[in-house]
Chains A and B, each alone.
Chain A
Amino acid sequence: MRFRRLRAIALKELLQIWRDPRSLMIALLMPFTQMFLLGYGVTLDLKHIPVCTFDREASQNSQSLLKHFEASSYFAIARNVRTYPELISAIDRSDCKIAIVVPPDFSERLNDTGTSSVQAILDATDDNTANIAYGYAVAIVSGYSNDVALDALGRQGGELQQIQPVAVQSRVWFNEDLDSRNFIIPGLVAVIMALVGAQLTSLTISREWERGTMELLVSTPVTPSEVMVGKLAPYLALGWIDASFCLIIATLWFGVPFRGTLFTLFATTTLFLTVVLGIGYLLSVLIRSQIGASQVALLLTMLPTTLLSGYVFPIDQMPTIIQDITYLVYSRYYVTIIKAIFLKGAGIAALAVPILFLLVYAAAVMTLAARAFRKRLD
């Protein structure tokens, strides 16, 4: 790799981004609009979801679980019903969006097997609300079950020292007041970085093909890795700017605490950006049209990142098969990382595992991308 050529490519790319309103819009405006749109969308609009409860056991345990729902600002208890028909009509009349049914053997099974379950019935006419309400319900139940687990260990005289990490984690992730903003906004930063990053670089090679400039570029001594690194460099800089925007909006506007260090944030963000920018670049190399590449980039990043990264829906509450799939979703590691940095103040060492996964991903994507670009027309 030669610095002169790298610099020439990077400077040229920077000038082109600067003069292309579309790229600039994606790069600089999208973080703002997405932060505000999604930030409000997933927090304010979905507080006080009306919930019906049907406590078929009416024990101390079941009441204590339902208390968690009552205490949460996500849910407002609309009614306590005593029969299924009553529950169904409540949902039909839209008195509630979600109903929680505690089975008659709830405590019995909890005592016998250590696990138990409750039933959630959802009004799915508004799919999105239903999904999110379900996510919240799962979060609350898992918060409750953590309490139970801690209780049980405490009673058995287990070493409290040992279980401390679990306690800290459950508190920070689903903190007592269950402030969804703290839980969701850091993850949102990850989602935005993933979307914007892949979008931007998905255009960079296809643009050269479409405009006919590629034929000349490949006839020069420039190497594939110089093209790749030179082209990604300015987008990495844009990514840092975006990350700064997101950080500022998250902390100053939404009031999310930032307990980590800027160094950890930017180091891990750089790693994550390497992955997403590299994926966008790879798509751009493989699909020689700008529209095609950006559509595929959107598709490939949007769904996995929003559904499977754990940014709203906790991964450990998903079916095992889906949980296994999430290991392939690179955003998942960054969501873990960024939540831990924001809420727990985690440092590099504490994040070694997800960082390692991202490193592997980055290396694989870079290798593939550098190889996929052939200096040939056939």
Chain B
Amino acid sequence: MNGPAQPAQAGKIDQVVAEDLVKRFGNFVAVDHVSFRIASGEIMGFLGPNGAGKSTIIRTLCGLLRPSSGRAIVAGIDVARDPEGVRQHIGYMSQKFSLYRDLTVEENLEFFGGIYSVPRAELRERMRFAIDMAGLAGREQAMVGTLAGGWLQRLALGCAVLHRPPILFLDEPTSGVEPASRRRFWDLIHNLASEGVTVLVSTHYMEEAEYCHRIALINHGRLIATGSPAKLKQTGIGGDLLLLECDALGPMLEALQHAPNVRDCSVFGDALHLLVDNAEKSLAEIPDFLASKGLHPRRISRISPSLEDVFVQLIAADVAAAGKAA
């Protein structure tokens, strides 16, 4: 993994467009006015807690759910108007493993080859490619139900790309898979993207978000921020982050609630994270303020926020905003 490369064919048309997308189940709003675009060859990551609405958005884009309002355009086709027109252009990995466990590796690939009408002349070669990609060479006759997690996921990806779709929807493809297999899976995604495949992938692993070209943070059906991991870390938090190491967390936390220009203060391991407006100013100001209360931190320094910091911060801000609006 060499970190996210830039989209291979940036500047081409947007392969996936969501415009003001809304999906309701009865009275429950699962997707709440979501808009975004994904360029050709781009890897877009959906990051959000369980129940945020990631799967619902992906299913709507695949034409499996009808949007309550708004538009979804995939490969230039309006999904609600022509869901069938979209199918041949997309590959889909659903959140729950959905290949046939009572069929062998080869039989599953042959099945999807037939369903997508992959030209017969090319089918053998593409199956070979998928088998190699999944690392299943020599196990073509194995019953899929007997394979372990990492292989299952890579085989599912292999089935999803058998017909060379320009767009891939991967719904939590790496959940429940050990870290080494996850890394390998992301290498495959990057290879596909470098060949121009547009990828929308959801995850709840923070570290995986770093592998995406762009991230969309989703919470309660709303898209609360989008941007590259670097940009989100720079601006998403809306301030600077300080790390404060000390011996007694309790009194320190108490005192810092009243410190000037400290917007938020939270425990992080055995240290504190402070959200401030301006790092330089606070680095000068805080030690004096604490000294006046008789407190002496061991060390205080500026750190760059992780995506997790950004995410926690943005969700807290979103909840506060929703609270105010209500």
- Cβ contact within 8 Å between B65 and A12: no
Give A219's nearest chain B residue, CB to CB: B92
In chain A, positions 342-378 with a C-beta closer than 8 Å to chain B are 375-378
User: A238 within 8 Å of B by Cβ?
Assistant: no
For residue A206, give the distance in angstroms from its CB to the closest CB of chain B: 15
Q: Once bound together, how far apart are the Cα atoms of A16 and B59, in whole Å?
A: 27
- Cβ contact within 8 Å between B64 and A219: yes
| Residues in A neighbouring B116, C-beta threshold 8 A | 220-221
With A2-B117, A15-B107 as contacts: A221 and B66 at CB distance below 8 Å: no
Q: Once bound together, how far apart are the Cα atoms of A359 and B114, in whole Å?
A: 31
| Residues in B neighbouring A4, C-beta threshold 8 A | 114, 117
With A219-B87, A220-B87, A377-B64 as contacts: A11 and B111 at CB distance below 8 Å: yes
User: B36 within 8 Å of A by Cβ?
Assistant: no
- Cβ contact within 8 Å between A216 and B94: yes
Stretch at the interface among A111-119, A146-154, A207-215, A283-291: A207-215
User: B97 within 8 Å of A by Cβ?
Assistant: yes
With A15-B103, A16-B100, A376-B64 as contacts: A221 and B114 at CB distance below 8 Å: no
- Cβ contact within 8 Å between B96 and A376: no
Residue in B97, B100, B116 whose Cβ sees the most chain A Cβ within 10 Å: B100
- Cβ contact within 8 Å between A220 and B65: no
Give B64's nearest chain A residue, CB to CB: A377
- Cβ contact within 8 Å between A16 and B98: no
Q: Mark A1-40, 1 if CB is under 8 A from B, else 0.
A: 0101101110110011001100000000000000000000
- Cβ contact within 8 Å between A5 and B90: no
- Cβ contact within 8 Å between A216 and B98: yes
Indicate the size class of the contact surface on chain A.
20 to 34
With A221-B88, A378-B65, A378-B66 as contacts: A216 and B111 at CB distance below 8 Å: no
- Cβ contact within 8 Å between B107 and A12: yes
User: B84 within 8 Å of A by Cβ?
Assistant: yes
User: B297 within 8 Å of A by Cβ?
Assistant: no
In chain B, positions 92-113 with a C-beta closer than 8 Å to chain A are 92, 94, 96-103, 107, 110-113
Give B66's nearest chain A residue, CB to CB: A378
Quick one: which of B90, B103, B107 contacts A219, CB cutoff 8 A? B90
Q: Once bound together, how far apart are the Cα atoms of A12 and B112, in whole Å?
A: 10
User: B115 within 8 Å of A by Cβ?
Assistant: yes
- Cβ contact within 8 Å between B115 and A16: no
User: B83 within 8 Å of A by Cβ?
Assistant: yes
User: A218 within 8 Å of B by Cβ?
Assistant: yes
User: A76 within 8 Å of B by Cβ?
Assistant: no
| Residues in A neighbouring B94, C-beta threshold 8 A | 212, 215-216, 219
Give B119's nearest chain A residue, CB to CB: A4
Interface Cβ pair total, 8 Å cutoff: 85
Indicate the size class of the contact surface on chain B.
20 to 34
- Cβ contact within 8 Å between A220 and B98: no
Q: Once bound together, how far apart are the Cα atoms of A15 and B108, in whole Å?
A: 11
Q: Once bound together, how far apart are the Cα atoms of A9 and B102, in whole Å?
A: 14
Give A221's nearest chain B residue, CB to CB: B87
Q: Once bound together, how far apart are the Cα atoms of A20 and B90, in whole Å?
A: 32
Q: Once bound together, how far apart are the Cα atoms of A12 and B92, in whole Å?
A: 20
User: B131 within 8 Å of A by Cβ?
Assistant: no
| Residues in A neighbouring B256, C-beta threshold 8 A | none
- Cβ contact within 8 Å between A222 and B65: no
With A213-B99, A215-B96, A377-B59 as contacts: A8 and B64 at CB distance below 8 Å: no
- Cβ contact within 8 Å between B117 and A20: no
| Residues in B neighbouring A375, C-beta threshold 8 A | 63-64, 83-84
Q: Once bound together, how far apart are the Cα atoms of A222 and B84, in whole Å?
A: 9
With A12-B107, A220-B116 as contacts: A215 and B64 at CB distance below 8 Å: yes
Residue in A213, A215, A216, A221 whose Cβ sees the most chain B Cβ within 10 Å: A216
- Cβ contact within 8 Å between A8 and B102: no
Q: Once bound together, how far apart are the Cα atoms of A320 and B100, in whole Å?
A: 51
| Residues in B neighbouring A2, C-beta threshold 8 A | 117
Q: Once bound together, how far apart are the Cα atoms of A180 and B84, in whole Å?
A: 56
For residue B63, give the distance in angstroms from its CB to the closest CB of chain A: 8
Give A377's nearest chain B residue, CB to CB: B64
Q: Once bound together, how far apart are the Cα atoms of A378 and B113, in whole Å?
A: 27
Q: Mark A175-190, 1 if CB is under 8 A from B, else 0.
A: 0000000000000000
- Cβ contact within 8 Å between B64 and A16: no
For residue B274, give the distance in angstroms from its CB to the closest CB of chain A: 45
| Residues in A neighbouring B66, C-beta threshold 8 A | 376, 378
| Residues in A neighbouring B114, C-beta threshold 8 A | 4-5, 7-9, 11
Q: Once bound together, how far apart are the Cα atoms of A223 and B84, in whole Å?
A: 9
| Residues in B neighbouring A9, C-beta threshold 8 A | 114-115
- Cβ contact within 8 Å between B103 and A16: yes
- Cβ contact within 8 Å between B100 and A376: no
With A220-B87, A375-B83, A378-B65 as contacts: A8 and B103 at CB distance below 8 Å: no
| Residues in B neighbouring A217, C-beta threshold 8 A | 98, 115
Quick one: which of A19, A212, A377 contacts B65, CB cutoff 8 A? A377
- Cβ contact within 8 Å between A213 and B62: no
- Cβ contact within 8 Å between B115 and A213: no
**Interchain residue pairs with CB less than 8 A apart (9):** A2-B117, A16-B100, A19-B102, A215-B94, A216-B92, A220-B115, A221-B84, A222-B115, A376-B65
A residues in contact (CB < 8 Å) with B: 2, 4-5, 7-9, 11-12, 15-16, 19-20, 211-223, 375-378
The 9 closest A-B pairs by CB, nearest first: A8-B114, A216-B98, A221-B87, A219-B92, A212-B96, A215-B94, A377-B64, A220-B115, A4-B117
Given contacts A7-B114, A211-B101, A219-B87, 13 further A-B contacts (CB under 8 A): A8-B115, A12-B107, A211-B98, A211-B100, A212-B98, A213-B99, A215-B96, A216-B99, A217-B98, A220-B112, A221-B87, A375-B64, A377-B64
